[in-house]
Homo-oligomer: A and B are copies of this chain.
Amino acid sequence: MGDQEKTKRIIQPRLLKGFRDSLPEDEIPKKAIIAKLEGLFSSYGFVPIDTPALEYTEVLLGKGGGETDKQIFHFADNGGRDVAMRFDLTVPFARFLALHLNELPLPFKRFHINKVWRGENPQKGRFREFIQCDFDIVGLDNSEADYEILSVMHASFAAIGVENFHFHLAHRGLFNQMLAHLGIAEHNTEILRIVDKLRKIGTDEVREQLMALLASSEKADAILAYIEKADEDEPFLTTLSRLEELGGGESEHSIRMRTIYAYLCGAGIEEHFILDPSITRGLDYYTGLVYETFLTDLPHYGSVCSGGRYNDLASLYTKEHLPGVGASIGLDRLMSALSELQSPIAQAGSSADVAILNTAGNFTACDLAGRILRSEGIATSVYLAAKKIAAQYKWAEAQAIRYALISEDGGTFTLKDLRDKESWQGISATEAATIIRKEHH
């Protein structure tokens, strides 16, 4: 292909449906939120791991059913292997545990924040590439581990500056106990699937579907009585006692919930936790505590952090029994919620605190001023050409950079606060640093 032909052909720079670029105004707050969460997880002794984007399809689909199959990106690689892109972080974690069990200290507390891919049809707010944030404790089946995941969830939302949130808790074991008490334990899975749709299809439709399954209005009503909270403000322990009664009395499950609640009270964070038996979580693998997280000011966002206890996560890959408890934050949904709440962390718009504008044509002086400001902890972007000053201001403002430091003849500078238009003339870079730090803190 000759050079002339080359210059003629322009490839349309388009993106695949359901995929997005992340521009600086999205990427800066995303990184800020991830850094906060990573810091918080680390402060609790959770350690990071990563797994490959591609795995053997057989390994990833071992757990999934027919639904997942159509949703994943899979293909034959150059070596003819059937490979797939990971569609969540749970299945790779199970495989990871089985492969590295001898190298990991149990109980193992880990977090994993990275991209996953699903081929599902993109809807508003749903994409084919998105970031999951998972954290789990593996190797224990007790109320202390259950509690600590809840405690980390609570601390995570506090860390990113969200004030009004509630965690809705339920317990699979308590629900099953109630079904057993009604003599319908064998319909466990189907009933869970129906009940899980409560928010979507409403009480009447759920009742109808339960009737169709159980052929008993009495039993359908008993299930509805269990999952429906008469009073939103019913205290945690009152609800728990009521559920205990509907299940035929105290059990290891109700004792577990009571202990978890006592720990929440011990930490003084119990007011954020609601016992809500309508929470079921569709997935089969949960066996105990389950939970969802709602933002009080944005209930229509649905749950922004969900999870629960699973008592045999890695059983597809190992005979080792590995109980665990964990949660997953939908980072993209959380980010749009934070943006809608005008949360400060979602407003982070600029990397630099100061733009150095060069009008005197003395680049080295500007560069040295940048070095001085950076050494004082102030992020500084130097404008790298002696263009018209108006263009340089525009450039700083387009990036939401707050201060401009303009070089003067003779080696001094003018500092301008681009927000409130205050300015200081004839100063050195060190003096500028002092002013900026005073204003900032």
Mask for A60-86, Cβ within 8 A of B = 1, else 0? Answer: 001000000010010111110101010
Q: List 11 A-B contacts (CB under 8 A).
A: A11-B58, A19-B54, A21-B51, A21-B100, A23-B100, A24-B48, A44-B379, A45-B401, A73-B78, A105-B399, A266-B368
- Distance between Cα atoms of A53 and B14 in the complex (Å): 14
A52 within 8 A of B: yes
Binding-face segment, A35-43, A161-169, A422-430: A35-43
- Distance between Cα atoms of A16 and B51 in the complex (Å): 11
Chain A, range 125-176, C-beta contacts under 8 Å to B = 128-129, 137, 140, 142, 144-145, 147-148, 151
Which B residue's beta carbon lies closest to that of A73?
B77
A341 within 8 A of B: no
Contact B52 A99 (CB under 8 A): no
Binding-face segment, A271-279, A314-322, A328-336, A411-419: A314-322
Contact A52 B15 (CB under 8 A): yes
Contact A385 B23 (CB under 8 A): no
The 10 A-B residue pairs with the shortest CB-CB distance, nearest first, are A45-B381, A75-B75, A45-B352, A24-B47, A266-B364, A22-B50, A19-B52, A13-B317, A13-B98, A105-B398
**Which residues in B have their C-beta under 8 angstroms from that of A219?**
none
- Distance between Cα atoms of A276 and B318 in the complex (Å): 55
User: What count of chain A residues pass the 8 Å CB interface test?
Assistant: 108
Contact of A144 among B56, B263, B363 (CB under 8 A): B363
**Which residues in B have their C-beta under 8 angstroms from that of A46?**
351, 381
**Which residues in B have their C-beta under 8 angstroms from that of A128?**
54
**Which residues in B have their C-beta under 8 angstroms from that of A224?**
none
Binding-face segment, A107-115, A193-201, A288-296: A107-115
Which B residue's beta carbon lies closest to that of A96?
B21
Contact A22 B49 (CB under 8 A): yes
- Distance between Cα atoms of A74 and B326 in the complex (Å): 34
Are A379 and B28 also in contact (CB < 8 A) when A15-B55, A151-B367 are?
no
A355 within 8 A of B: yes
Q: How far is the CB of A10 from chain B (nearest CB, A)?
A: 6
Contact of A117 among B23, B54, B263 (CB under 8 A): B54
Task: Kindly name the residue among A47, A95, A129, A137 whose own CB sees the greatest number of chain B CB atoms within 10 A.
Answer: A47
Contact of A107 among B100, B316, B385 (CB under 8 A): B385
Contact A382 B119 (CB under 8 A): no
Contact A384 B75 (CB under 8 A): no
**Which residues in B have their C-beta under 8 angstroms from that of A148?**
367, 382, 384
Which B residue's beta carbon lies closest to that of A395?
B105
Q: How far is the CB of A390 from chain B (nearest CB, A)?
A: 14
Are A380 and B44 also in contact (CB < 8 A) when A49-B23, A53-B117, A95-B13 are?
yes
Task: Kindly name the residue among A43, A46, A370, A385 whose own CB sees the greatest number of chain B CB atoms within 10 A.
Answer: A43
Are A144 and B384 also in contact (CB < 8 A) when A16-B55, A355-B45 are?
yes
Q: How far is the CB of A167 from chain B (nearest CB, A)?
A: 17
A256 within 8 A of B: no
Contact B81 A47 (CB under 8 A): no
**Which residues in B have their C-beta under 8 angstroms from that of A55?**
15-16, 19
Contact B103 A23 (CB under 8 A): yes
**Which residues in B have their C-beta under 8 angstroms from that of A145?**
384-385
- Distance between Cα atoms of A319 and B267 in the complex (Å): 61
**Which residues in B have their C-beta under 8 angstroms from that of A367?**
147-148, 151, 263, 266-267
A7 within 8 A of B: yes
**Which residues in B have their C-beta under 8 angstroms from that of A363?**
144, 263
A17 within 8 A of B: yes
**Which residues in B have their C-beta under 8 angstroms from that of A75?**
73, 75-76
- Distance between Cα atoms of A367 and B7 in the complex (Å): 66
Are A380 and B45 also in contact (CB < 8 A) when A16-B56, A151-B367, A385-B140 are?
yes
**Which residues in B have their C-beta under 8 angstroms from that of A62?**
11
**Which residues in B have their C-beta under 8 angstroms from that of A263?**
363-364, 367
A402 within 8 A of B: no
Contact A43 B380 (CB under 8 A): yes
**Which residues in B have their C-beta under 8 angstroms from that of A19?**
52, 54-55
**Which residues in B have their C-beta under 8 angstroms from that of A45?**
351-352, 355, 379-382, 399, 401
